[in-house]
Amino acid sequence: MTQGGTNLPRVGGYNQAVVLDAIRTAGPVSRVELAPLTGLTSQTVSNVVRRLLAAGLISESGHAPSSGGKRRTLLSPRADGAFAVGVQLDPDAAVIVVVDLAGEVLASRRVKLADPADPAEVVKRVAAAAQRLTARTAVDPARLLGTGIATPGPIDATAGDVVSPPNFSGWGRVPLREMFAAATGMPVAMDNDATAAAIGERWIGGRARAGSFLFLYFGTGIGAGIVLNNTVLHGDSGNAGEFGHMAVQPGGRTCQCGSTDCVGPYVSPSGVMADLLERHGAATARRLGLAGTQESAHADWKALCRAARRGDPAAEDVIRSAAARIGRAARGAAALLDVDRVVLGGEALHGIESIMCEEVDAAVNTTSVARSIRRVAVERSVIGEAVGAVGAASLILHGTYAPGWRMLTQA
Ligand SMILES: [Zn+2]
């Protein structure tokens, strides 16, 4: 998904990517441990490690305790080996971060979008803000790999376009990747926000996010990212994980897709707000300080989540019933995919993490067909609220350094 060439410290091959991934996931590790971890011979491991050291992507970081023989040198990833910019695009604002190879956020900024209906204006504003932010961090430009964009879907992954995203009114087919590449002069990678978040979680989560998991991303809507056996699933068109269109609510509200049984219209911030008005009335909304306008949607959602967290019965009621619906859909997805972990994250989850985790946990573990085999762990993102933007930056790091079939086919 990355385009354009660079003079950056690339790993330059599949074996290098495999070894770097093993060091990042299991590190600090010795050369001796790397052979069984990667399935490579000790001679190949030595050669690859030498190249990774020379590229500045790993460092020797002390010694393992001696077990009688020669002490083994430990290898760790070098945080300053490479950097990437991440942009999480939402209709009201963009969150921009600069991260290092370890996924540490060096700087971040939230930029209000003055005219979200105009893609050219959005790109110009965000690219300029990203350049200022990068300059402030004083990272070595030669080690800045590019910019990752996490955007609400749907996307055309091959072309790098977003295609009439329902949350950006007035956008038709927009060549977002190309526009950002032109505006930044750097390689750009793009994915839908939920998949980007899952990639970030996999990239940064180390052992805690090795294997398989379903990531539920809470933004303007709800989406899912899928990691199976350490591989991120994109699907044929790049739109795998359209969680909001899981059919769990027959005969209900009409979804943006035209169906009347999707979970999305019930669990998105606007859907939950509609629930509050339906079940508890306008007086309750006023009491909670919700303005109920299009412009106030972001602030209203935050206020509703705060109220639910402090135990306001009306707020908790509507959040809990949304969480239960999400749980039902997650149960189906977890059973279908055979994942042993469901991870929750995203900005819109702030304040309601406990309620969401409780309800999703209850749903996936009470009736899951897999419960006799193993319990499905329900956890919060290891990255936290910035998972969308950090995930976006990870698109670049993961795309450059994670072992993938593309490296084999290009080798
Ligand atoms: Zn739908």
- The predicted-structure confidence for 169-206, as pLDDT tens digits, reads as follows 889 999 999 999 999 999 999 999 999 999 999 988 88
Residue 329 has pLDDT above 60, yes or no: yes
Q: Are 104 and 190 members of one domain?
A: yes
* pLDDT value at residue 238: 84
Residue 88 has pLDDT above 90, yes or no: yes
Task: Report how far ligand 1's centroid is from the alpha carbon of 75 (Å).
Answer: 47
Task: Report how far ligand 1's centroid is from the alpha carbon of 47 (Å).
Answer: 51
Using the 8-state DSSP alphabet, how is residue 247 labeled?
A: B
State pLDDT tens for residues 285-321: 999 999 988 888 889 999 999 999 999 999 999 999 9
CB 193 within 8 A of CB 150: yes
* pLDDT value at residue 4: 30
Task: Report how far ligand 1's centroid is from the alpha carbon of 348 (Å).
Answer: 20
Residue 12 has pLDDT above 80, yes or no: no
CB 229 within 8 A of CB 337: no
Average pLDDT on 310-338 reads 94
Q: Could you say which of 34, 58, 80 is where a domain stops? A: 80
Task: Report how far ligand 1's centroid is from the alpha carbon of 165 (Å).
Answer: 13
Task: Report how far ligand 1's centroid is from the alpha carbon of 109 (Å).
Answer: 32
**C-alpha–C-alpha distance, residues 267 and 209, integer Å:** 26
Q: Could you say which of 80, 96, 112 is where a domain stops? A: 80
Tell me the pLDDT band of 371, cut-offs 50, 70 and 90: low
Task: Report how far ligand 1's centroid is from the alpha carbon of 37 (Å).
Answer: 42
State pLDDT tens for residues 380-398: 999 988 999 999 999 999 8
* pLDDT value at residue 237: 85
Task: Report how far ligand 1's centroid is from the alpha carbon of 243 (Å).
Answer: 9
Task: Report how far ligand 1's centroid is from the alpha carbon of 328 (Å).
Answer: 16
Residue range(s) defining the domain that contains residue 73: 14-80
Q: Are 241 and 348 members of one domain?
A: yes
Task: Report how far ligand 1's centroid is from the alpha carbon of 288 (Å).
Answer: 30
Task: Report how far ligand 1's centroid is from the alpha carbon of 238 (Å).
Answer: 17
Q: Are 40 and 136 members of one domain?
A: no
**C-alpha–C-alpha distance, residues 88 and 2, integer Å:** 17
**In-domain check, residue 62:** yes
Tell me the pLDDT band of 352, cut-offs 50, 70 and 90: very high
Residue 9 has pLDDT above 70, yes or no: no
Q: Are 109 and 138 members of one domain?
A: yes
Task: Report how far ligand 1's centroid is from the alpha carbon of 244 (Å).
Answer: 6
Q: Please report, rounded to a whole number, the percentage of residues in the chain having pLDDT higher than 70.
A: 92
Buried b (16+ CB within 10 A) or exposed e, 393-407: bbbbbbbbbbbeeeb
Residue 364 corresponds to which tokens in the numbers above? 């996936």
Q: Are 166 and 254 members of one domain?
A: no
* pLDDT value at residue 2: 31
State pLDDT tens for residues 107-161: 999 999 888 899 999 999 999 999 999 999 989 999 999 999 999 888 998 899 9
